[in-house]
Structure formats: structure tokens, C-alpha cells
């Protein structure tokens, strides 16, 4: 088994972290969940994550600031942004700043997994795609 | 003199049947035209009277002067007659001379009998004639006397009648002369009195008319100011009668009705704009519970067989909770957007302000601005339209958000104004403030400091219209660099003690 992907998940909605942590654990990620951007930033200073998933709209600090913070310390880290609703100017700004991809609320856990899978490939440590196909049992 | 009560109906423009104009119409009509006509009639009647009187008195003077001339001639003739009588007695001259003069005097009287009669009156004229006849009789007796003894018998009576005749005529001449002098004096003075009366009347009419016109014009000026500020209540009668101004008031009421209608259209379009702004925030606000529901439901199906019952229940409860959250968001927006007539109901102001802050919570969050709400307890209720009041507060908060840099603060304070029976809502920001030269124009429609895309310039003018309509006030205090405070004063419908007792 390859080294697990280190993922930091930041969203001010607690349910998002509660549901996505087990969803990402399944595909071999080690997930740390944060609701406060400042706490997340402090943790980023301590540790290099492979992937940072962050909400754009938050109090204290927004997603763009988190992106800049990550890139300053860890240029290799892929940043994925969650948006409440698509706003072209924000997306353009983030793209220009080198965000890996966007995912718009509402989304399914599988949607995020697919993006993480691509990010892992881009990082050179791909995830076993069979894990990705582990779609809901009911289907 | 009767009042000129005229009908000032104009078949072309007639607003008098409109409901707002019925009280205006239910008064007697005294038109300005009638008032002016009355004034001119008064002047005319006064002038006519004075002219007529002058004509009369001058005619009388003319008669008197004529009489005096006749009387003078008569006096000369009878005095001559008496002189010749004396000459006859003393020097035995011819008595015919005396009789001749007396005859001439008699002719004067008969020729002018009518004129003299009008002035002396019939009785006095008769007395005058009888004195003369008696004297004439004695004079004839004297002429027939043969000797001195016979003459001596006639002389006393002759002298008695002669002097009576002369003194009676003299008295009358003197009396008439005095009366003529008095008449002259009066004829000289009356034009002066007339001038004085005319002056007083003119001053009175002038002040009366100008006062009436100016006061009414001033009142109409106040109406325009009131209407300009958004008070669209109809003009009510201020006087006890109707005139041309009533027509103007009716036209005003018609205009007010039209303005009110246009104002409501404006209000609706402004609300639509506010809804547009809010929807952007609400979409985000909805996406969060939707996302939470989708993630939770997805994971529940995915891990259905591995999850414990407690975990499943927790997830289902999360789904319920998030759905309710979405419902609240939608309901709040729908409450705001609901179309409808103005409904005046007793309202809890703190709830209205709280709902308004909830509507804009996302705009506030996105702008990274801090919003604090502070409500006093036991606030009296206010009377108003819930939706429209929310529109005012949403507008005030969004305005503040627009001017604030990230990290700015908005403080909303709801409190009682005990002394005046009002509830005050203050919305304070610590933004750049409003320059003094703009403050006066800020409530004007279409005045805006924002770019074309961001603002219509209707927000504050519409807000003021809404607040005025329920009898409240809105004003601002601001100084550059110190931020801005908008204060909305709303009349309370109940005293706080009534609320306490509930």
C-alpha cells in the first residue's frame, strides 16, 4: 500500500467535515478537518499537506487567502475550492492564482473523490481507481 | 346687499366627484371673483351716494340763492313804500309813490309765489301776503283821509302792520342766509370726508383680499413641501367656504392620488431590485443546507450496512435539521417578496429588525462586515406594514454594507423614545460618512453616489415614503470620517405598561 494522501479539509459548516472525512478515509486519504480558517492556517504552517480542500466564503479569512497561504509555504500542495455559488470573477482570480479545481455546492462525496483522484495523479502518487469506483451499495 | 354666490364649476376639468374631494365640495361657495365684485360694488355705491348728495345740495343752494335775490328785491320795494309813507306824513308828498312800490312788491310775490312757497312753506307765505294786504288797506285808508284828525286815527295801525311786514320778511331773509352759509360749508367738507372714507375702505379691502390670497397660497406651498416629502394624504378643507382655490385643491388631490399610485409602482420596482440583491445571498445560504443534506444522504446510502443505528439516526436528524434550515431561508425571502396591498397591523419592531438582519446576513458576511443588533426589552408595538418596514431596514443595512471596507461595523439599536411615544431604530456604520453638501439631497429620488450598475437612487426616497406614510420620520447624522447614523422614528401604538401587563 502506498503512502496515504494527506488532506486538509476546511469548511465552516461542521456537517461537511463530518461526512467527508469518512468518505475520503475510504480512498486512502488521511483527513484533518477544520472549521476555522485561522486554525487551519496554523496547522498548514506545521505540516505539508498533499491536498487542501477549502470553502471560499468564510468569515475571518476567505478561500483565496488560504490558497495564498498554502502556496507561500508549500508550492507543491494542490488546492481544491468549494464554492457556495459560482461567481465568475472569483473563479478567474483563483484560477490565476493556481487553484487546482473547483467544486460547487451542493455536491456528492463521489464528485470530490474524483477531483482528489486527479489531484493525486497530478502529484504522482495515484490512488487505486478501484477504490474510486466504490459507489454507493444501493446503486 | 346680497352675496354673489356663484357656481365655479368647470365642465372640462372636474375632480370634485373623487372620494378625496367630497369634503372639499361640501361647503358653500364664495368665489374670489365674487369677493372682488363685492369690493368694486362697495366703491361704486359709495361714489354714487356722494355724487348724488352733492348734486342735491347744490340744487338746493341754487334755489336758496334765487330766493334770496327775490326776497332782497321784495325787501327793497316794501322799505321804499314805508319811506314814502313817512314822507307823506311828514312833508305831505304824493302817497302814490308808496302805493306804486307796494304794487311792485306785490307783483314780485305773485310772480314768484311758487318758489317762495317751497322755501317758506304755505302758511308763512300766506302770513307774508296778509301782512302786505293789511298794510296796503291802511295805506289806502290814509290816502282817503280828509283831515289830520282822520289821519291820526289810521296812523297807529298803519305803522303796526308796516313794521310787522318788514320785520317778518327781514327775519326770513336772515334765516335763509344763515342756512345757505351752512350748506356751503357742508358742500365744501363732504368731498374731504368722502376721500377719507374711500381711503379707509381701500385699505380694508386691500388687506382683506391679500390676506386671503396670501394665506391660501402659503398653505398650498406647505402642501407641495409635504407632498414632496412623500406624505400623500389628501388635502382637507381649511376654510368654511369654497372658491377658485378649491378647484386647485381638487387638482392637487388628483395629483396626490396619481403620485401615490406611481410611488407604489416605484416601491414595487425598488423591492424587486432589493430581492435581486438578496437572492444572490440567499442562493449561497440555500446551498449550504442543500450541500449538507446531499452529503449526509449520500454517505448514509453508501455506508448503510456498516453504520451503527445511532450514527444512522444522527444522519437522518441532520437531514431533517438542514431541510428545516433551508425552509426558513426560503420563507424569510418569500415573506419579504410577497406581493400585496399595504397592510397596517400592530407589529413587534424588534422582530422586524431581526428578520431584516437575517435577510442580509450573507451580504454582511461576504463584505466581511460585523453586524450587531441590540434591542431594548418591553418595546411598545408599532403600527405599520411588515414587508415595507423590512424593505426599509434591509435597504439601510445594504447601504451601510456598500460603503464599509472589510472589517467595518454596523450597529443597530432599537429603543424607546419615552418622551414622545416613539420607537427609534438607529442604523450606525463606521464608514467614510456622508459629506455635508450631499446630506440634504440624500433622500431625493434618483440621487445616488453609487455607480449606475449598483444603485438606482431610489432606496432612501422610497424608505422615507414608507416611513412618512405610517407617521414616522427618518433622518441622518453624519460627519466625514466618523460614520453615519440613520434614525427611524416610528409612532408607538401602545404604552410599555400595556405590554408588561400581557
Cell of A44: 498548514
- Sort out which chain B residues have CB atoms less than 8 A from A13's CB and list them: 288, 291-292
Q: DSSP label at A85? A: S
Residue B365 touches partner A, C-beta closer than 8 Å: yes
Tell whether the model's pLDDT for residue B498 goes beyond 50.
no
Tell whether the model's pLDDT for residue B145 goes beyond 50.
yes
Residues B150, B269 share a domain: no
Residue B300 touches partner A, C-beta closer than 8 Å: no
| Residue B6 counted as domain residue | no
Which of A105, A111, A137 to mutate against chain B (most B CBs within 10 Å)?
A: A105
Confidence of residue B502 (pLDDT cuts 50, 70, 90): very low
Nearest to B283 among A16, A85, A135 (CB): A85
Confidence of residue A105 (pLDDT cuts 50, 70, 90): confident
C-alpha to C-alpha distances, B280 to B141, B277, B362, nearest whole angstrom = 143, 6, 9
| A105/B290 CB distance under 8 A | yes
| Residue B492 counted as domain residue | yes
Residue A102 touches partner B, C-beta closer than 8 Å: no
- Count the Cβ atoms, other than its own, within 10 Å of residue B84: 20
Give the residue ranges of DSSP H helices in B145-243: 148-228
Strand, helix or coil at A23?
A: helix
| Residue B4 counted as domain residue | no
Residue A98 touches partner B, C-beta closer than 8 Å: no
- Sort out which chain A residues have CB atoms less than 8 A from B306's CB and list them: none
Residue A89 touches partner B, C-beta closer than 8 Å: no
Q: How far is CA A47 from the centre of its chain?
A: 15
Q: Which residues contact B468 (CB under 8 A, 6 or more apart)?
A: B229, B230, B231
How long a stretch of residues is chain A? 139
Which residue of chain B comes nearest to A26, CA vs CA? B303
Residues B280, B186 share a domain: no
| Residue B128 counted as domain residue | yes
User: If contacts are CB pairs under 8 Å, which of residues 1-60 in chain B contact chain A?
Assistant: none
> Exposed/middle/buried for A123, CB within 10 Å: 0-12, 13-18, 19+?
middle
Residues B459, B359 share a domain: yes
Residue B427 has a pLDDT of 92
| Residue B215 counted as domain residue | no
Residue B368 touches partner A, C-beta closer than 8 Å: yes
Confidence of residue B12 (pLDDT cuts 50, 70, 90): low
Q: What is the Cβ-side half-sphere exposure of residue B445, based on CA atoms within 13 angstroms? A: 10
Contact B490, B470 (CB under 8 A): yes
Q: CATH number for the domain including B156? A: 1.20.120
Residues B426, B312 share a domain: yes
| Residue B305 counted as domain residue | yes
Q: CATH number for the domain including B305? A: 3.30.565.10
Residue A84 touches partner B, C-beta closer than 8 Å: yes
Nearest to B284 among A20, A57, A59 (CB): A57
Residues B413, B325 share a domain: yes
Given B192, B213, B229, which residue is the final one in a domain?
B192
For B339-370, b/e burial (b = at least 16 CB within 10 A) is eeeeeeeebebbebbbbbbbbbbbbbbbbbbe
H or E element that contains B349: helix B349-359
Determine the straight-line distance between the first and last CA of chain B, rounded to whole angstroms: 66
Confidence of residue B455 (pLDDT cuts 50, 70, 90): low
Angle (deg, nearest 10), helices B32-91 and B122-144: 10
Residues B173, B314 share a domain: no
> How far apart are the CA of A106 and the nearest CA of chain B, in angstroms?
4
Q: Where are the beta strands (DSSP E) in B25-73?
A: none
Say how many domains are in chain B.
Answer: 2
Q: For residue range B348-402, list pLDDT tens digits in order.
A: 888 889 989 988 888 888 788 889 999 888 888 888 888 888 888 998 998 898 8
Tell whether the model's pLDDT for residue B133 goes beyond 50.
yes
| B298/A13 CB distance under 8 A | no
Farthest CA pair distance, chain B: 188
Minimal CA–CA distance to B293: which of B311, B329, B318? B318
Tell whether the model's pLDDT for residue B289 goes beyond 80.
yes
Tell whether the model's pLDDT for residue A80 goes beyond 90.
yes
Q: Distance between CA B416 and CA B492 in Å, rounded?
A: 9
| A105/B304 CB distance under 8 A | no
Residues B302, B183 share a domain: no
Confidence of residue B323 (pLDDT cuts 50, 70, 90): very high
- Please give the mean pLDDT across all residues of chain B: 84
Q: For residue range B21-73, list pLDDT tens digits in order.
A: 787 877 888 888 888 888 889 889 989 998 999 999 999 888 888 888 888 88
Q: Distance between CA A50 and CA A16 in Å, rounded?
A: 20
Given B161, B192, B223, which residue is the final one in a domain?
B192
| A106/B293 CB distance under 8 A | yes
Give the residue ranges of DSSP H helices in chain A: 14-25, 37-46, 63-73, 88-96, 109-123, 129-132
User: If contacts are CB pairs under 8 Å, which of residues 22-51 in chain A contact chain B?
Assistant: 22-23
Domains and CATH numbers, chain A: 5-126 (3.40.50.2300)
Residues B425, B328 share a domain: yes
Averaged over A78-91, what is the pLDDT?
A: 78
- Sort out which chain B residues have CB atoms less than 8 A from A24's CB and list them: none
Given B175, B192, B209, which residue is the final one in a domain?
B192
Top pLDDT among B240 and A14 is at A14
Residues B470, B337 share a domain: yes
Minimal CA–CA distance to B388: which of B466, B449, B442, B317? B466
Angle (deg, nearest 10), helices B349-359 and B386-403: 50
Residue A136 touches partner B, C-beta closer than 8 Å: yes
> How far apart are the CA of B367 and the nearest CA of chain A, in angstroms?
9
Which residue of chain B comes nearest to A136, CA vs CA? B302
> How far apart are the CA of B16 and the nearest CA of chain A, in angstroms?
57
- Sort out which chain B residues have CB atoms less than 8 A from A15's CB and list them: 292, 295-296, 318, 322
Residue A56 touches partner B, C-beta closer than 8 Å: no
Least confident of B50-59, B127-136, B145-154, B437-446: B437-446
Contact A109, A23 (CB under 8 A): yes
Q: For residue range B196-238, list pLDDT tens digits in order.
A: 988 998 999 889 888 888 888 999 999 988 887 777 888 888 7
Q: Distance between CA B116 and CA B136 in Å, rounded?
A: 20
User: A–B: how many Cβ contacts below 8 A?
Assistant: 69
Residues B269, B185 share a domain: no
Top pLDDT among B4 and B406 is at B406
Confidence of residue B13 (pLDDT cuts 50, 70, 90): low
For A50-83, b/e burial (b = at least 16 CB within 10 A) is bbbbbbbbbeebbbbebbebbbeebeebbbbbbb
ipTM of the complex: 0.90
Residue range of the domain that includes B378: 260-500
Q: DSSP label at B227? A: H
Residue B151 has a pLDDT of 81
Residue A107 touches partner B, C-beta closer than 8 Å: yes
Contact A100, B303 (CB under 8 A): no
| A137/B301 CB distance under 8 A | yes
> How far apart are the CA of B454 and the nearest CA of chain A, in angstroms?
16
- Sort out which chain A residues have CB atoms less than 8 A from B323's CB and list them: none
| B299/A107 CB distance under 8 A | no
Top pLDDT among A16 and A90 is at A16
Residues B130, B267 share a domain: no
Nearest to B366 among A13, A57, A107 (CB): A57
Q: Distance between CA A116 and CA A125 in Å, rounded?
A: 11
Minimal CA–CA distance to B37: which of B211, B209, B204? B209
| B295/A85 CB distance under 8 A | no
Least confident of B41-50, B134-143, B357-366, B489-498: B489-498
Top pLDDT among B12 and B186 is at B186
Top pLDDT among B477 and B343 is at B477
Q: For residue range B93-106, list pLDDT tens digits in order.
A: 888 888 888 889 88
Minimal CA–CA distance to B25: which of B216, B223, B246, B238? B246
Confidence of residue B497 (pLDDT cuts 50, 70, 90): very low
The most confident of the ranges A114-118, B165-169, B449-453 is A114-118
Averaged over B300-329, what is the pLDDT?
A: 92
Strand, helix or coil at A81?
A: strand
Residues B272, B176 share a domain: no
Q: For residue range A3-37, list pLDDT tens digits in order.
A: 788 999 999 889 999 999 999 998 889 999 999 99
Paired strand residues for B491:
B422
| Residue B373 counted as domain residue | yes
| Residue B462 counted as domain residue | yes
Strand, helix or coil at B471?
A: coil
Residue B318 has a pLDDT of 94
Q: Whose grid coordinates read 397660497?
A: B217
Amino acid at each position: 500500500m502506498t503512502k496515504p494522501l494527506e488532506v486538509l479539509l476546511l469548511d465552516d459548516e461542521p456537517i461537511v467535515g463530518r461526512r467527508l472525512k469518512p468518505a475520503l478515509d475510504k480512498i486512502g486519504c488521511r483527513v484533518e478537518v477544520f472549521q476555522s480558517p485561522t486554525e487551519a492556517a496554523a496547522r498548514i504552517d506545521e505540516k505539508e499537506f498533499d491536498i487542501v480542500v477549502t470553502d471560499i466564503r468564510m468569515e475571518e479569512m476567505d478561500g483565496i487567502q488560504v490558497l495564498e497561504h498554502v502556496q507561500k509555504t508549500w508550492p507543491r500542495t494542490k488546492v481544491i475550492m468549494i464554492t457556495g455559488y459560482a461567481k465568475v470573477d472569483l473563479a478567474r482570480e483563483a484560477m490565476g492564482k493556481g487553484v487546482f479545481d473547483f467544486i460547487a455546492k451542493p455536491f456528492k462525496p463521489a464528485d470530490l473523490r474524483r477531483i482528489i483522484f486527479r489531484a493525486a495523479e497530478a502529484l504522482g502518487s495515484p490512488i487505486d481507481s478501484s477504490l474510486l469506483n466504490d459507489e454507493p451499495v444501493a446503486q | 346687499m346680497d352675496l354673489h354666490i356663484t357656481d365655479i364649476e368647470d365642465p372640462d376639468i372636474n375632480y370634485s366627484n373623487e372620494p378625496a374631494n367630497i369634503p372639499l365640495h361640501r361647503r358653500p361657495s364664495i368665489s374670489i371673483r365674487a369677493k372682488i365684485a363685492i369690493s368694486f360694488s362697495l366703491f361704486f355705491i359709495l361714489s354714487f351716494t356722494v355724487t348724488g348728495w352733492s348734486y342735491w345740495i347744490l340744487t338746493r343752494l341754487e334755489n336758496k340763492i334765487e330766493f334770496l335775490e327775490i326776497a332782497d328785491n321784495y325787501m327793497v320795494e316794501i322799505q321804499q313804500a314805508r319811506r314814502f309813507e313817512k314822507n307823506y306824513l311828514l312833508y305831505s308828498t304824493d302817497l302814490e309813490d308808496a302805493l306804486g312800490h307796494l304794487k311792485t312788491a306785490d307783483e314780485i310775490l305773485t310772480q314768484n309765489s311758487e318758489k317762495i312757497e317751497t322755501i317758506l312753506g304755505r302758511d308763512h307765505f300766506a302770513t307774508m301776503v296778509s301782512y302786505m294786504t293789511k298794510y296796503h288797506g291802511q295805506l289806502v285808508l290814509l290816502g282817503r283821509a280828509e283831515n289830520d284828525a282822520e289821519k291820526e286815527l289810521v296812523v297807529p295801525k298803519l305803522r303796526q302792520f308796516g313794521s310787522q311786514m318788514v320785520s317778518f320778511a327781514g327775519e326770513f331773509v336772515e334765516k335763509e342766509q344763515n342756512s345757505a352759509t351752512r350748506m356751503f360749508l357742508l358742500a365744501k367738507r363732504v368731498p374731504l370726508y368722502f376721500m377719507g372714507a374711500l381711503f379707509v375702505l381701500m385699505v380694508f379691502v386691500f388687506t382683506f383680499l391679500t390676506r386671503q390670497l396670501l394665506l391660501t397660497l402659503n398653505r398650498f406651498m406647505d402642501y407641495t413641501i409635504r407632498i414632496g416629502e412623500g406624505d400623500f394624504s389628501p388635502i382637507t378643507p381649511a376654510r368654511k367656504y369654497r372658491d377658485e382655490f378649491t378647484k386647485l385643491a381638487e387638482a392637487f388631490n388628483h395629483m396626490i392620488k396619481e403620485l401615490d399610485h406611481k410611488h407604489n409602482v416605484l416601491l414595487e420596482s425598488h423591492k424587486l431590485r432589493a430581492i435581486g440583491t438578496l437572492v444572490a445571498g440567499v442562493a449561497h445560504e440555500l446551498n449550504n443546507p442543500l450541500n449538507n443534506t446531499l452529503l449526509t444522504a449520500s454517505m448514509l446510502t453508501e455506508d448503510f450496512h456498516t453504520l451503527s443505528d445511532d450514527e444512522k439516526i444522527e444522519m437522518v436528524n441532520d437531514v431533517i435539521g438542514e431541510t428545516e434550515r433551508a425552509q426558513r431561508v426560503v420563507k424569510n425571502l418569500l415573506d419579504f417578496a410577497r406581493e400585496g396591498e399595504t397592510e397596517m397591523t400592530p407589529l413587534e419592531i424588534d422582530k422586524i429588525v431581526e428578520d431584516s438582519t437575517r435577510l442580509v446576513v450573507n451580504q454582511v458576511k461576504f463584505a466581511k462586515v460585523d453586524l450587531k443588533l441590540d434591542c431594548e426589552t418591553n418595546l411598545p408595538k408599532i403600527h405599520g406594514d411588515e414587508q415595507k418596514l423590512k424593505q426599509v431596514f434591509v435597504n439601510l443595512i445594504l447601504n451601510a454594507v456598500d460603503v464599509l471596507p472589510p472589517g467595518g461595523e454596523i450597529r443597530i439599536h432599537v429603543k424607546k423614545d419615552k418622551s414622545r411615544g416613539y420607537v427609534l431604530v438607529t442604523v450606525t456604520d463606521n464608514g467614510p460618512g456622508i459629506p455635508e453638501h450631499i446630506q440634504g439631497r440624500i433622500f431625493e429620488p434618483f440621487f445616488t453616489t453609487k455607480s449606475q450598475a449598483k444603485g438606482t437612487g431610489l432606496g432612501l426616497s422610497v424608505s422615507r415614503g414608507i416611513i412618512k406614510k405610517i407617521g414616522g420620520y427618518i433622518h441622518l447624522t453624519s460627519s466625514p470620517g466618523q460614520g453615519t447614523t440613520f434614525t427611524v422614528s416610528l409612532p408607538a401604538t401602545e404604552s410599555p405598561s400595556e405590554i408588561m401587563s400581557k
